[in-house]
Structures are given as structure tokens and as C-alpha cells.
Amino acid sequence: MAQIAGRQVGPRGFGLMNFTWRSDPVPDEQAFDTMRAALANDMNFWNGGEFYGTPEVNSMTLLKRYFEKYPEDSDKVVLSIKGGLRADLVPDGSPENIRRSLDFTLEKLGGRKVDVFECARRDPNVPLATTFGVIEKEYIKTGKVGGICLSEVSAATIHEAAKITTIAGVEVELSLFSTDVLSNGVAAACAEHDIPLIAYSPLGRGMLTGRFQSAADIPTTDIRHHLPRFQPENFETNLQLVRQVEDLAAKKGCTPAQLALGWLNSLSRRPGMPTIIPIPGSTTVDRVVENAKLVDLTDEEMAEIDATLAKFEVAGSRYGEGHPINT
């Protein structure tokens, strides 16, 4: 168990993006069943975003409806919401936009506290102290927000932020497909400051589940069509890692997704590593139950994965050109 903003969270979190950031939002009945299954499996750290969906249908409106139906669950969930972007998804850490983002979030939630708020990207034009100051003085001290997280930041930003305020967590992309933070100082900085690392897309945006066997399997309206790693010229190369993960999972007697999440679980126990909380997204109860199963990997199995990763080079970058990451 880990602590985020003074609250206990389970070894797995739960991502809400897949419910509302799509052309066909998941019906409430299915979404609620899936969310209840996550909570029943100790996946109580729920991660959403102001911009996951439209102003009318988003993470907060879904959560508001859920907590209205299941008010007893509200205190069980540790809620993390990303915001701080303008309407054109450009980072804006100014006091005016932080107030707008948080007021919008809290209003859509129906007044429910945001346990952790994180700017989705750092605004290079506004000092961290200015952004944090607004959150602390106007929202944390008034009980509307519990703590501050960082998202997609560099090691230098983590060190800088830790000197200004208490950082509850750092959200980054981390999976067998995305291991940059293990070598660029981000994981080491989190460990140094005892900050949990929150791993989004821990299943390689679905690739590591075996869901996609070719680029043609990706729905035409899916965001993956805009990501370099899912382009036809890169897909077949990246599928090679999926095949190796499938082979390793078969030997372990688990699913590829369970192996990928087990790797993160075992990775966090290595010396010099921070606590890692994966937040896989799911839209069905069956997938939640699968992802919740904790698979322990032996040192020998971890060494085999290390060897596999050392020989494999992922084709394509995580995002398209010009997208701000690790700022």
C-alpha cells in the first residue's frame, strides 16, 4: 500500500479516460459496474481529467453520477484529476487558468473534493511557485483539494517542485513499451524525494493486452491513429515485443496484461526505485478483474524481461511532433 496526499491507495489504480474520451461514451450501467469492480479489487486511486471528454460529458460528470448512485463509495475513492490546460490543450499555469480549471472541475463534480490535482503539463512561461501558490492558498487550505501531483515532467522539474511544496505523486507513461523514465532521471528523482510514480498507459495503450493484431484493428475514430507507434510502418515492428510478452506470459501462466503489470510491481521493489502505482484503464468488469490480479515475477523472470527489452527498440515516438512531454 502507498500513501498519496495522506490517503492509502492500493497497489493498482484505475484510469477513467476510456469512459469519456471516445466518440461513443460507455453507457452508465457498464461504466458503473466496472468502477464498482475496481473498488472491490482495491483499485481505489482513480485518475481522470478535465479534458477527458467534452465540457458536457467528462470524467467529473461521470463521477458525479456515480457518487449520486453510490454515495457510500465517495470516501473510499482517492480522486486524481488532471487540468491546467486551455481549450486548445496548451498548458497554462497562470492563476487565472488554474482557478478556471479547478472551479470547473469542482462544479462538475458537484462539490466533491479533489484529492489530488495535477497540471497535465508544465507551463514553461509561469513559475511553479506561482501555480502551486494558487492551488495551496485558495484550494488546499480551504479543503477543496488534498494535494498536488505533477504530470509528464523532467527530473529537473521534480527536484525544483520538491523544494517548493509537498508533491503527492508524479504521473508518467511507463510500460514495457515506454521505459524512458527509468533512464532519464525521473524515477530516480521520485525515489530521492519519496514520491510515488503513477504509471499511465501501463499496458502500452492496449498493445500489451493482445487487443490489436494489426493497425487495421484500431477503430477509425481512436486516438491511437494519431500516435506514431500505431502507424502501419511502425506497428509490425512493435508487435514483435507483444509476441515476446505473450510467450513470457504463457510460461508464467498468466495473461500478457498481468505480466506487464507484474513487471511494474516487481520493478518498484528494486533498490533505488520509487513506489509505482499503475493506472490501467478498463471499460469492462472482466478486464478490471484481470488487471487487479497481482503477479510476482522472480529475479530470473525479471532478468529475462530485461534481456528482451535490451534487444528490442520501439518504433516510433510516444506522441507526435511538437507534443510537450517531460517538461
Q: Which positions are catalytic?
A: 52
The CA distance from 46 to 70, in Å, is 15
Are 160 and 193 a contacting pair, CB within 8 Å? Answer: no
What is the residue-wise DSSP string for 215-229? GGGS-TT-GGGGSGG
Other residues' Cβ atoms within 10 Å of the Cβ of residue 90? 11
The CA distance from 91 to 114, in Å, is 20
Are 131 and 165 a contacting pair, CB within 8 Å? Answer: no
Which residues are within 8 A (CB) of 247 and not within 5 positions of it... i.e. 6 or more apart? Answer: none
Reported as type and span, the H/E element at residue 45 is strand 45-49
C-alpha distance from residue 268 to each of 2, 175, 196, 238, 279 (Å): 12, 12, 10, 25, 14
3-state secondary structure of 163: helix
Q: Which region, left, alpha or beta, applies to residue 21 given φ > 0 means left and ψ of -120 to 50 means alpha? A: beta
The CA distance from 265 to 269, in Å, is 7
Are 180 and 314 a contacting pair, CB within 8 Å? Answer: no
Phi/psi at 249 (nearest 5 deg)? -65, -40
Phi/psi at 297 (nearest 5 deg)? -105, 140
Q: Which of 155, 161, 114 is nearest to 138 (CA)?
A: 114
The CA distance from 243 to 319, in Å, is 23
